[in-house]
Amino acid sequence: MKIRFPKIDLEKCFITCFSDASLGNLRNSQSSGGYVIFLQDHEGNSAPLSWRSKTLRRVVRSTLAAETSAMVDTLDTAFYLSAVLSEILSSRSSETVPIHALTDNESLYRNAHSTTMAEERRLRVDISIIKDMLSKEEIKSLKWLPAESQLADSLTKQGADAKKLMCVLVSGKLDWKGFV
């Protein structure tokens, strides 16, 4: 298998992030998180910039906490990549490369777009990080997508189908109309 890196319109490029997590799926009931981050243009041309699958940094008590922790890690990496790319693409002046994040966890999506606080107090901190990034427009969007469209699924769940992710990597096309 060869990963394809297509020509991308760098004047109109953006970052697309898929973040996912699994609660208690590892040895000792630890949870895992994963992401795949693409540089993309409006024609659907995409190239992977970063991907990761790892044990979450802290013990979590719920799927929402696992998904939120994984998303914070994803956005941290995406923000860094956006800043580096913006420096390289100095023609964009002070404008950063926009970041669009995708989650298949409806509770994370709702909590990030709500004024109601989560019940778990520790979780409120991570959700506040995401809300702050949205309000400062460090992230252009955080959107929900159906679980069957989650490209990071195979990075967090044993036996998950990686065909969709592989198809994007081999074709160099990420054509998710309506997500960004």
89 or 104: whose pLDDT is higher?
104
In this predicted structure, the answer to whether residue 179 has a pLDDT above a threshold of 70 is no
Give all domains of the chain, ordered by start, each with its CATH number. Answer: 10-171 (3.30.420.10)
Query: Which pLDDT tens digit goes with each residue over 2-51?
Result: 999 999 998 889 999 999 998 877 777 788 899 999 999 999 999 999 99
| pLDDT computed for residue 176 by the predictor | 62
Of the listed ranges 43-57, 122-136, 164-178, the least confidently predicted one is 164-178
> If you write DSSP's letter for every residue of 65-87 in order, what string do you get?
HHHHHHHHHHHHHHHHHHHHHHH
Residues 6+ apart with CB under 8 A from 121: none
* pLDDT band per the 50, 70, 90 thresholds, residue 116: confident
